Amino acid sequence: MGSSNLNTTQTANSRPNYQPALVLLTSLFFIWGFITCLNDILIPHLKGLFELNYTKVMLIQSMFFGAYFLMSLPSGWIVGRIGYKKGIVLGLSITGLGALLFYPASIIISYPFFLFAFFILASGITLLQVAANPYVAILGRPETASSRLNLTQAFNSLGTTIAPLFGSYLILNNSFTTPVEEAQSVQGPYLGIFVVLFIIAAIFIFAKLPTIQSSTYKKGAGSAWAYKHLVLGAIAIFVYVGAEVSIGSFLINYLSMEKIANITEAEAAFYISFYWGGAMVGRFIGSAVMQKIKAQKVLSFNALIAIILLIITMSFVGNIAMWAVLLVGLFNSIMFPTIFTLSIDGLGEHTSQGSGILCMAIVGGAILPLLMGYVTDLMGGDIQKAYIIPIVCYAYILLYGLKWYKKIIPSGT
């Protein structure tokens, strides 16, 4: 029976070696994690440069994560037309173009131009994610797909951990005498990113990667939208990404507050690594824990602890408030993949559509930071009070893990 599942009569010894391809793909996960986390450095930097309030500066995240919502479906169409490898090369090229646009934006010192650069950058990353995630999953045996994705996601977290250290040294840790100098401090880092991206794109062009066609399914009756647990899961993805990005976006300004840590922005950027590094550590811990405990129970526990930590950070000052919010990263770790897998469980032929719906829900990272910025401005710039926004988000995730994850198959499917 096992032999009937093989496309060829390959023996175990003649099985294709996908390791070189996986190494290249893993570099992509690191890169887009690195670039995404640099936003947390540029938010306080551009806030000071353009003298923005919190609502306006959060447009950075709105433009960046809004690209996921607008470009996910077009990216899927592009990958379907040109294939995984060419899709990755195109995604790297668009991301590189977005990084290059930071140079003219810093020359003319235009906030709208910076926002445009963020959108192009994120559009390229969206295409990379749409192409790379399924490619990793199919490069190898199906039963080890989750293991491969967990490994690549760990390197994504490594990128988000390193980026704040890199950005604080090259962008924030400087004494600027003029706005021109302050604006142009982004040139070096983003030109470097541009060069690295196009080198990797060239490697992908000439690399001999496996040519694997995406699976095709017969379109059946109904729609993924008919599955209640998927719709509720999409809302959970929306609020999770929104909460995670909101907390990270405000961390530097929050830790710089006199009543919290009273440190410089460059020093605060160092501590962001603890927030994102916690997510990396938590993925390894969560993976082991979920072999013994049901995923939905782990999800509910983590959401509850995140709520408690945020209540602490709202209620106290000093080191207690600082470390409470940083620890939230550890409990964020397993939320996205756990919600994702619970949401698509039982979708059958509608799994592909369901996955697209969940990816579009990442737009929460565009909307909720903006809302938190608005609330912060209403509170006179007191970020501490605005943490009520992510608390509400984690409360929803808690309920999803307790009961709303349950699979309900629509009648007639």
Whether 145 shows a pLDDT value over 60: the answer reads: no
**Same domain for 125 and 39:** yes
Separation CA 314–CA 312 (nearest Å): 5
**Same domain for 37 and 161:** yes
Residues 6 or more apart in contact with residue 271 via CB below 8 angstroms: 251, 255, 261, 322, 326
Query: Which among 149, 182, 208 is the end of a domain?
Result: 208
Element (H, E) at 391: helix 388-399
Compute the average pLDDT of residues 296-320: 96
Compute the average pLDDT of residues 239-258: 94
Give how many domains the chain has, as a whole number. Answer: 2
Residue 247 included in any domain: yes
Whether 403 shows a pLDDT value over 70: the answer reads: yes
**Same domain for 225 and 137:** no
Question: What is the model's pLDDT at position 353?
Answer: 72
- Binned at pLDDT 50, 70 and 90, residue 219 comes out as very low
Instruction: Please report, rounded to a whole number, the percentage of residues in the chain having pLDDT higher than 90.
Output: 48
- Binned at pLDDT 50, 70 and 90, residue 352 comes out as low
Whether 221 shows a pLDDT value over 70: the answer reads: no
Question: What is the model's pLDDT at position 94?
Answer: 97
Whether 134 shows a pLDDT value over 70: the answer reads: no
Compute the average pLDDT of residues 352-357: 74
**Same domain for 264 and 155:** no
Tens-place pLDDT, residues 150-193: 677 778 888 888 988 888 887 876 667 788 888 888 999 999 99
Whether 247 shows a pLDDT value over 90: the answer reads: yes
Q: Which residue has the higher pLDDT, 364 or 225?
A: 364
**Same domain for 361 and 315:** yes
**Same domain for 199 and 259:** no
Question: What is the model's pLDDT at position 213?
Answer: 52
Residue 403 included in any domain: yes
User: Rounded mean pLDDT of the chain?
Assistant: 85
> CA dihedral in degrees (153, 78, 198, 26; nearest 10)?
20
Tens-place pLDDT, residues 276-288: 889 888 887 887 7
Residue 215 included in any domain: no
**Same domain for 198 and 328:** no
Residue 5 included in any domain: no
**Same domain for 243 and 111:** no
Q: Which of 3, 8, 24, 29 is nearest to 280 (CA)?
A: 29
Tens-place pLDDT, residues 75-111: 878 887 888 889 999 999 999 999 999 999 999 999 9
Q: Which of 56, 55, 163, 39 is nearest to 389 (CA)?
A: 55
Whether 147 shows a pLDDT value over 60: the answer reads: no
Q: b/e per residue, 119-145, with b = 16+ CB within 10 A?
A: bbbbbbbbbbbbbbbbbbebbbeeeee
In angstroms, the Cα distances linking 132 to 123, 126, 386 are 14, 10, 36
**Same domain for 96 and 232:** no
Residue 23 included in any domain: yes
Domain that includes residue 336, residue range: 220-413
**Same domain for 166 and 51:** yes
- Binned at pLDDT 50, 70 and 90, residue 130 comes out as confident
Residue 3 included in any domain: no
**Same domain for 253 and 158:** no
Q: What pTM value is reported for the model?
A: 0.78
Whether 126 shows a pLDDT value over 80: the answer reads: yes
Whether 26 shows a pLDDT value over 70: the answer reads: yes
Whether 356 shows a pLDDT value over 80: the answer reads: no
Compute the average pLDDT of residues 379-385: 92
Separation CA 163–CA 51 (nearest Å): 24
Token digits for 412?
């007639």
Query: Which among 156, 180, 208 is the end of a domain?
Result: 208
Residue 8 included in any domain: no
Q: Which residue has the higher pLDDT, 309 or 333?
A: 309
Tell me, what CATH number does 380's domain have? 1.20.1250.20
Query: Which among 208, 234, 253 is the end of a domain?
Result: 208
Give the phi and the psi of residue 264 in degrees, each rounded to 5: -75, 165
**Same domain for 344 and 236:** yes
Whether 372 shows a pLDDT value over 70: the answer reads: yes
Token digits for 80?
């379907």
Q: Which of 277, 252, 56, 72 is nearest to 160 (CA)?
A: 277
Residue 121 included in any domain: yes
